[in-house]
């Protein structure tokens, strides 16, 4: 294992491991399902979905990714400063005018719509002698978030083609329900996007890169055009709990800890803040030094499980900022320092992020990005 911050001594027992070989494998596994000339955009925003943006980006490139995709200009600058100077980096989110100079100076590609600071980007491009500067246009086909409305898209893109400081090299949309297999709205959005591309073609316009498919759409083989944007599947996590995942895509993240104390609860004893759990019978329990400040969702209190000795041990009482308590099954011999799995496999028992997220009433994305905020991360190399 290679600590990402070897000088930082972590005296707590909880830590995150990331299998970079799994990241590279997942890129290769996804690419096998894509057209051979389809570019692969690896989404490493939000610190690589909590896995670590820089090591994940390197592993994704080693696996065959063509682009790195981030949400913000600072995320893109982080990758550039880490030595990824030649890799195309697309900023997926809106860009502010005061970020234009940094964006162009670092050679980051912005995603734009009609509200984007086009004048600032053009001025920065001319100042850095990089005009015409490449941009991707975002079209809103139904997510109702960021992007220009479909009826306004053709005249807007025509105006961009008339701007000598900008070059439209990509056009994109984003699906709202790609995590649902064969959802009708997914097909409706794809049809709107296809109709727009046809209208642009009729007007003599065709940006080189059209992209719409995220993980869910790419796994369904829907709208895999010149590029796909793979986020959650890059990390081996399903887009939704019931979404069928191919067997050659595997999780990269594991979260582990160890038992800090073994407790004996008498009938009537309560556990944690708010006393939300009361022992009805004599109960052996274990204290685990991981809490919601480390990413374990507080909403999983009295609902989720951790794995000790290959057994699923229910969380009892409210999860604290730094600690939690689980009940131990009868007959399970547990001692201080015994290993605990929060996410991952122990023996024949696996706890996935998706299962933990369901217990907390949220989605795997949210849980993934929270882990490791103060825990150390250890990385298994690509190979």
| Residues carrying an active site annotation | 45, 273
Residues 26/42, Cβ–Cβ less than 8 Å: no
Q: Residue 2 region, left (φ>0) first, then alpha (ψ -120 to 50), else beta?
A: beta
Report d(CA 186, CA 349) in Å as an integer. Answer: 35
Length of the chain: 383
Show the tokens assigned to 271.
Answer: 């556990």
Report d(CA 360, CA 102) in Å as an integer. Answer: 39
Strand 2-3 relative to strand 376-380: parallel, antiparallel, unpaired?
Answer: antiparallel
Report d(CA 284, CA 160) in Å as an integer. Answer: 68
- Buried/exposed 248-281: b ≥16 CB within 10 Å, e otherwise: ebbbbbbbbbbbbeebebeeeeebbeeeebebee
Report d(CA 87, CA 67) in Å as an integer. Answer: 6
Residues 164/132, Cβ–Cβ less than 8 Å: yes
Show the tokens assigned to 366.
Answer: 């949210």
Query: Strand runs (DSSP E) across 176-301, as ranges?
Result: 209-211, 227-230, 253-258, 261-265, 270-271, 277-278, 283-288
Task: Identify the CA nearest to 362 among candidates 315, 299, 303, 301.
Answer: 299
Residues 175/216, Cβ–Cβ less than 8 Å: yes
Show the tokens assigned to 257.
Answer: 């800890």
What are the counts of helices (DSSP H) followed by strands (DSSP E) for the chain? Answer: 11, 22
Task: Identify the CA nearest to 340 among candidates 265, 261, 232, 233.
Answer: 261
The owner of tokens 């064969």 is: 182
Show the tokens assigned to 282.
Answer: 């004599």
């Amino acid at each position: 294992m290679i600590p990402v911050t070897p000088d930082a001594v972590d005296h707590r027992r909880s830590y995150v491991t990331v299998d970079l070989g799994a990241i590279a494998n997942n890129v290769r596994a996804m690419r096998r399902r894509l057209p051979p000339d389809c570019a692969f955009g690896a989404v490493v925003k939000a610190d690589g979905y909590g896995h670590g943006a820089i090591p994940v980006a390197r592993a994704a490139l080693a696996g065959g990714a063509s682009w790195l995709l981030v949400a913000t200009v600072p995320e893109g600058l982080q990758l550039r400063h880490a030595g990824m100077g030649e890799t195309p980096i697309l900023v997926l989110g809106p860009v502010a005018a005061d970020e234009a100079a940094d964006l162009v100076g670092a050679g980051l590609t912005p995603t734009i719509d009609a509200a984007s600071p086009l004048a600032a980007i053009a001025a920065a491009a001319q100042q850095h002698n990089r005009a015409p500067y490449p941009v991707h246009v975002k079209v809103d086909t139904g997510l109702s978030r960021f992007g220009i409305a479909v009826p306004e898209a053709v005249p807007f893109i025509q105006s961009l083609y008339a701007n000598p400081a900008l070059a439209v090299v990509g056009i994109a949309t984003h699906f709202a329900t790609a995590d649902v297999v064969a959802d009708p709205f997914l097909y409706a959005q794809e049809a709107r996007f296809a109709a727009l591309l046809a209208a642009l073609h009729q007007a003599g316009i065709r940006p080189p890169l059209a992209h719409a498919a995220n993980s869910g759409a790419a796994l369904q083989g829907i709208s895999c055009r010149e590029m796909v944007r793979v986020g959650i599947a890059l990390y081996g996590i399903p887009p939704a709990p019931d979404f069928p995942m191919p067997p050659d895509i595997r999780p990269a993240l594991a979260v582990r800890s160890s038992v800090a104390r073994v407790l004996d609860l008498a009938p009537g004893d309560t556990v944690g803040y708010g006393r939300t759990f009361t022992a009805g019978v004599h109960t052996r329990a274990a204290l685990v030094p991981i809490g919601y400040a480390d990413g374990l969702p507080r909403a999983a209190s009295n609902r989720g499980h951790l794995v000790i000795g290959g057994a699923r041990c229910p969380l009892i009482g409210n999860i604290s900022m730094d600690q939690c308590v689980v009940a131990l099954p009868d007959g399970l011999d547990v001692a201080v320092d015994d290993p605990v799995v929060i996410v991952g496999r122990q023996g024949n028992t696996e706890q996935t992020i998706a299962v933990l997220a369901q217990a907390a009433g949220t989605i795997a994305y949210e849980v993934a990005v929270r882990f490791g905020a103060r825990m150390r991360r250890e990385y298994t190399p690509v190979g």
